[in-house]
Amino acid sequence: MALINRFSRLFRADLHAVLDRIEEPTLLLKQAVREMAEDVAEDEKNLKIIRFEQEQGPVLQAEVDAALKEIQHEIDLCLDSKNEKLARSVIKRKLELQQRAKRIKQKADGLASELASLTERLETNRNRLAAMQQKLEILEEDQANRSNQSTVYDVDVSISEDDIEVALLREKQARSGS
């Protein structure tokens, strides 16, 4: 069993080495840059959504506060007129509004922490994206320089049959002279 495990690990290692040689680093880096740019764009979109929701929080809170003030006046009116049944109904609405106000506050607190973490993650991802783009530029420049160097040294050499015959005669002459 141990022998089979060793062979399978050896085979996987050789397969990974072959794949690493086949894959082009430039293409892999370009794909990574595209994926990172998509992640940054998605985070920026989420950041806008969170900021919009944060802006809506105070508006909703103001509406709830205004409704609570109005309900308090209605409760006072019901109690002054000694109509407890109606007062209970209005108090129920007041309690519902108070719960809604509490949920709005909790949502605002959650949005604040989510905004902070998303902002930090976005900044980190932007820095990583910039670093990856720089690496890609350097790699592309390096490959361009290598291709330029190889074209300088890769000169088409054509050897004719006559050149081969002359070289053969020189070799024979050099051997007979030594």
pLDDT at 107: 93
What is 2-177's CATH number? 1.10.287
| Burial (0-12, 13-18, 19+ Cβ within 10 Å), 68 | middle
- Sequence spans of domains, the chain: 2-177
Q: What is the 3-state secondary structure (H, E, C) of the chain?
A: CHHHHHHHHHHHHHHHHHHHHHCCHHHHHHHHHHHHHHHHHHHHHHHHHHHHHHHHHHHHHHHHHHHHHHHHHHHHHHHHCCCHHHHHHHHHHHHHHHHHHHHHHHHHHHHHHHHHHHHHHHHHHHHHHHHHHHHHHHHHHHHHHHHHHHHHHCCCCCCCHHHHHHHHHHHHHHHHHC
pLDDT at 152: 47
Global pTM value: 0.57
The span from the CA of 128 to the CA of 36, in Å, is 8
pLDDT in tens, 27-79: 777 888 888 899 999 999 999 999 999 999 999 999 999 999 999 999 999 88
pLDDT in tens, 134-168: 888 888 888 777 766 655 455 566 788 888 888 88
pLDDT at 16: 61
More confident residue, 80 or 17: 80
pLDDT in tens, 3-33: 676 657 766 766 566 555 555 777 777 888 8
pLDDT at 55: 92
Mean pLDDT of 87-97: 92
pLDDT at 139: 81
pLDDT in tens, 102-134: 999 999 999 999 999 999 999 998 998 898 888
Q: With CA atoms as reference, report the closest residue to 24 among 148, 171, 139, 147.
A: 139
